[in-house]
Amino acid sequence: MYHGLWTSVIVTESLRILMSGLIDYAGLFPPAALDMRTTVANWAAYRAGERAWMLGRLVVPVARLGEFEQAMLGAPPPTGPDAEIWRITALGGDTLDADIERIFRFNQRHAGEGEGPGVAVIDALELKAVTSTQIDKAMHAIPEQLEPFFEIPVTGDLRGLVAAMAGTGARAKVRTGGVTPAAFPSTVELARFLSACAAAEVPFKATAGLHHPVRGSFPLTYEPGCASATMFGFFNVFLAAAFMVTGRAEAGEVAGILEESNARAFAFDDGGVTWRDLRLDTARLSRVRESFAVSFGSCSFEEPVADLEKLGLL
C-alpha cells in the first residue's frame, strides 16, 4: 500500500497536462488482483496523496458494488468543504438494465442525491461490444448521467464499431495488454484503432498493460520467474494519439511513436512535448486530453509513478 513517501520535483506543464486524471485505478484486476478492502484502502491513500492529480476513476464491477460499499465503511472517502467526491467507473455484465438499476440505487445512497453530502458517484459505465447493434441497443438504455465506454476488438475491420459510437457521446475502449502475450495488440492494430477513433471523433480509453511510460519487455505478472512480453508504454499510446489527431504525425511516424523504447526521445517542458523532431504545444495537448485521449486503466498506480520518478519527471 502507498504510504505517502514520494518526493517531488517541479513537474513541467506538458507532463502535468498529459498525466492529469490519466490513470484509472483498477487494483481489483490482474495481475494485481487485490481484494476489495485493499483496493479501496489504496485508493483512499492515493486520493489523499500528492500524486492524486494523476488519478481518474476507480474501476469497480457492478456485480461487486455491494462489496465495495462495505469496504468504503473501513476507508471512508474524505469529507469537508474541499473534499472531492470519489468518481467510479463501473464494469457492466450481461444484464444491462439490471446493472443500470444497481448503479442508480448506489448513486442515490452515496452521490449526494438524497440526504447528506456526496462521497462517491458512478459516472461512467464500461461494456464490451462486438457488433454495432450491441452498441446501438446499449446507447438507447444508458442514461445521460453515465459516460459510456465500449471495449471493442482491435482485430478485423473495427470502423463500423467506432462509427456506431460517433456523435452519440459514447467512447471507445481498447485492451492494450493482459497476463498473456496474446493479449497485447500489434502496433498495426493499435494504430488502426487510434486512426478509426480520430477519424470518427470518438474519444477513447485504454486498459491493461500500460504500467510503464515507454515500450519495453516487462514481466506479465508479479509471480517470481514469470514470462515477459513487449508492452506499450502510456507515453507511446497517448502521445501517438495526440500527434495523430492534431495532424502532427503521419502514419509511419505514429508507428514510430508507438514503438519508441527510448524514454529520452520524449522531452517535456512548460511549452509542450517533443518526440524526436515532432513538437506538440501544451494548448493542443490539453485539447487532446479533454476531448480525445481520456485515460487508461491500471491495476497499479505506484508502478507508473515510480517509473516517472526514475526518469526524473516527478
Res 5 pLDDT > 90:
no
The grid cell for 31 is 495481475
Res 85 pLDDT > 50:
yes
263-301 residue pLDDT tens: 999 999 999 999 999 999 999 999 999 999 999 999 999
C-alpha distances in Å from residue 221, one per residue of 67, 261, 313? 25, 21, 26
Q: Do 174 and 164 form a contact (C-beta atoms < 8 A)?
A: no
Q: Do 22 and 67 form a contact (C-beta atoms < 8 A)?
A: no
> Would you place residue 34 in the very low, low, confident or very high pLDDT band (cuts 50, 70, 90)?
very high
Res 252 pLDDT > 50:
yes
> Would you place residue 6 in the very low, low, confident or very high pLDDT band (cuts 50, 70, 90)?
very low
Which of the two residues, 54 and 7, has the higher pLDDT score? 54
Domains and CATH numbers, the chain: 13-310 (3.20.20)
Tell me, yes or no, if the pTM score tops 0.85.
Answer: yes
Helices within the chain (DSSP H only) = 13-19, 36-48, 65-74, 96-110, 132-141, 159-165, 187-200, 234-245, 251-258, 282-291, 302-310
Closest CA relative to residue 87, chosen from 144, 47, 49:
47
Stretch 174-186: mean pLDDT:
96
Q: Do 114 and 138 form a contact (C-beta atoms < 8 A)?
A: no
Task: Write down the pLDDT at residue 83.
Answer: 72
DSSP 12: P
Which of the two residues, 3 and 282, has the higher pLDDT score? 282
Written as one string, the DSSP assignment of 127-171 is EE-SSHHHHHHHHHHS-TTSEEEEE---SS--HHHHHHHTTTT-E
> Would you place residue 113 in the very low, low, confident or very high pLDDT band (cuts 50, 70, 90)?
low
Closest CA relative to residue 127, chosen from 87, 89, 179, 167:
89
Task: Write down the pLDDT at residue 180.
Answer: 95
CA distance 271 to 13: 7
Task: Write down the pLDDT at residue 111.
Answer: 86
Stretch 45-51: mean pLDDT:
93
Percent pLDDT > 70 in the chain is: 94
Which of the two residues, 76 and 225, has the higher pLDDT score? 225
Task: Write down the pLDDT at residue 115.
Answer: 56
Q: Do 61 and 28 form a contact (C-beta atoms < 8 A)?
A: yes
CA distance 300 to 308: 13
Residue whose grid cell is 494519439: 241
> Would you place residue 156 in the very low, low, confident or very high pLDDT band (cuts 50, 70, 90)?
confident
